[in-house]
Amino acid sequence: MDLQTIKNRFGIIGNSPALNHALNVASQVSNTDLSVLINGESGVGKEVFAHIIHALSARKHNNFIAVNCGAIPEGTIDSELFGHEKGSFTGAVDSRKGYFETVNGGTIFLDEIGEMPLGTQARLLRVLEAGEYIRVGSSKVQKTDVRVIAATNKELLEYTSRGRFREDLYYRLNTVPIRVPALRDRQEDIILLFRKFAADFADKYKTGSVQLDDNAKQIIANYGFPGNVRELKNLAEQISVLSKDKNITGEQLRGFLPNNNNPRLPVLAHNTNNDNNNQSEFANEREILYKLFFDMKKDVNELKKMFFEILQNPAHTTAAATFANDNNIRDLQTVNTNINYNNTTSQSVILPHNSSNIQVHENIEESLSISDKEKELIIKALKKHRGKRRDASKNLGISERTLYRKLKEYDLESL
């Protein structure tokens, strides 16, 4: 089946080279029983590629099932995939078939495979290598003939080095890798996709199809779309429903795009399966501390820059002007910058090194207390968003719950 026929059959819009390559690989591997690992960010359409592989394979008349490994609790995922016997655990009042039994002869799509527990990974490896599995609570080995297609938005190879994913399973799944490109890497397809979504929603809501002017097209083509195709589709639906004017200008389009001017803070990777509320709160506070440290570093750099400017232009300061006529000013040799990270910052400039009569010593003090900086950032965020705490918490990179607690802690609840 040629590439354009596949696109028409599965409703795929776009002509970017990266997309065409991914579709070609999916088409070529479909007639085999090889395991496939689909990589790509959230929202790029990884499940569509799994459907393409199944629909073009010899298994197309058998069952296809998609399983989100991240949505199934760790304690029940083995039962969901491999089944269980009656009485094998509390609540197991009857025997139950697992997906690998019910989809025998077909295809199983394991989305978010990186979230699968290590114990379940070992069971899955046995299925891939020998086509065998054991129900929970049973000792009888059962056979299955299921093709496994896995997908992830994580870097599994990095997970293997951290002990979160089995290396042997990674290489068993990664027999044929397919990387679905992010929407920002398919700029030439963004306008085509928007036009298709706008036409679909116009038909759905019995209204005129929205059109973008040249400025709006440029803005939407250059937008990053962190949510990829899913975000673009949501944007097209919002504009179709909420915009009275069907000819959208660049200024009107900006009103539908989120504010992406907020700095992205580094986030420490953590196991989301084992997080609890306290760990989540700790992670949020860690993010705001990063922001504080970055601001302090910026302040220190600005102070350094200011003093260097003083040295280059001594007439700009009273202290330097006092000694501007002294020939020794040409012999300036020493600039001492001392930074105390306890409660204050003290920076000293001594002019010059070889004169016993001329010395200028300036101290600039600024509080570097983390709590003071945190309070200052919270006040700024609330003022910026006119007291809207939800928007302020997003701007700060913390949860609303954390923000409310901080407001109470710093006695800022009246803001």
Of residues 352 and 400, more confidence is placed in: 400
pLDDT at 355: 43
Instruction: Give the chain's count of helices (H) and strands (E).
Output: 17, 9
**Domain extent listing, the chain:** 3-181, 184-254
Of residues 389 and 46, more confidence is placed in: 46
> Which residues are CB-neighbours of 327 under 8 A, at least 6 positions away?
none
pLDDT at 303: 73
pLDDT classification of 313: cutoffs 50, 70, 90: low
Assigned CATH for 184-254: 1.10.8.60
146 burial via Cβ count (<10 Å: 0-12, 13-18, 19+) = buried
11: left (phi > 0), else alpha (psi -120 to 50), else beta?
A: left
Residue 157 has pLDDT above 80, yes or no: yes
User: Quick one: tokens of 307?
Assistant: 């003093």
pLDDT classification of 129: cutoffs 50, 70, 90: very high
- Give the pLDDT mean for 119-126: 96
pLDDT at 371: 75
Using CA atoms of 119, 122, 124, 126 in order, give the dihedral in degrees to the nearest 10: -150
pLDDT classification of 294: cutoffs 50, 70, 90: low
CATH class of 3-181: alpha beta
